[in-house]
Amino acid sequence: MSLLDRFFVYHPAPWIDRDWARVSGLPLQEVWFQAEDGTKLFGWYVENRTTPVVLLWCHGNAGNIIHRLENLVELYRWGFSVLLFDYRGYGRSQGRPTEEGMYQDALAAYDYLVSERQVAPERLLLFGRSLGGAVASHVASKKPAAGLILESVFPSVATVARAHYFGLPVDWLLGAEFNLADRLAALSMSVLVIHGDRDNIVPIELGRQVFEAAREPKAFYLVPGADHNDLSMIGGRAYFQRLRQFAEQVVKVR
């Protein structure tokens, strides 16, 4: 990992001790599991038995799972079971973030759901936000799942870096690649790409490039007026209805 990666790519936040289950009103279950290299990882699992759908949530490059709690509340209300976990170096998870390490972490989270929670792959949706899109797509390239949801994503770190620095090849100074577009070209599972048309961090043009890179079956859902981090809030009911619609299309349980 280059020194610049620590400043420009990874922005973990330390854990804050509170009774988050009481704060959220959710039946949060604290879970610990290990990556292949032995790194101990922490997450929350919420189970909703009203639908068979389980989301494996891969968050973006900043904060930790505490900062996704409000979104988790809404997903639960809409019938989703969710495993929301922190990558190494984020929140309570051990270690330091690296690209390869984060891929390991997400694969460990997948294995936890399938092995420990007995979640069948045909019930499982992979969800990646921003940087987490490349992480979720890595899991999709290695493991079976019902579908892949990509929100506020970009083709690669290089494309984002050049969008913010007038096309200059500043990505040459970074070690991280997170190449989502190349992985999508080889995937055959159903993909839903979601993007806000006022995204100031990942311009919508990059989201459309991701959509173009994906193979059929695929769909693009635009959230008018949404920036990078407020899609669920701006999108409101229609946003969550679109998630449910996609889930009902791709999750087939006998």
Pull the structure tokens for residue 177.
């690649």
Q: What is the pLDDT of residue 162?
A: 75
Q: What is the pLDDT of residue 174?
A: 56
Contact 97, 89 (CB under 8 A): yes
How does pLDDT run across 207-228, given as a tens digit for each residue?
999 999 999 999 999 999 999 9
Contact 219, 192 (CB under 8 A): yes
Contact 182, 160 (CB under 8 A): no
pLDDT less than 70: residues of the chain:
1-8, 163-176, 253-254
How does pLDDT run across 157-208, given as a tens digit for each residue?
888 877 665 444 455 445 568 999 999 999 999 999 999 999 999 999 999 9
Q: What is the pLDDT of residue 167?
A: 45
Q: How far apart are CA 96 and CA 6, in angstroms?
A: 10
Q: Which of 89, 39, 85, 40 is nearest to 58 (CA)?
A: 85
H or E stretch covering 195: strand 190-196
Domain boundaries, the chain: 3-250
Mean pLDDT over each residue of the chain, to the nearest integer: 92
Annotation: CATH topology of 3-250:
Rossmann fold (3.40.50)
pTM: 0.94
Q: What is the pLDDT of residue 224?
A: 98
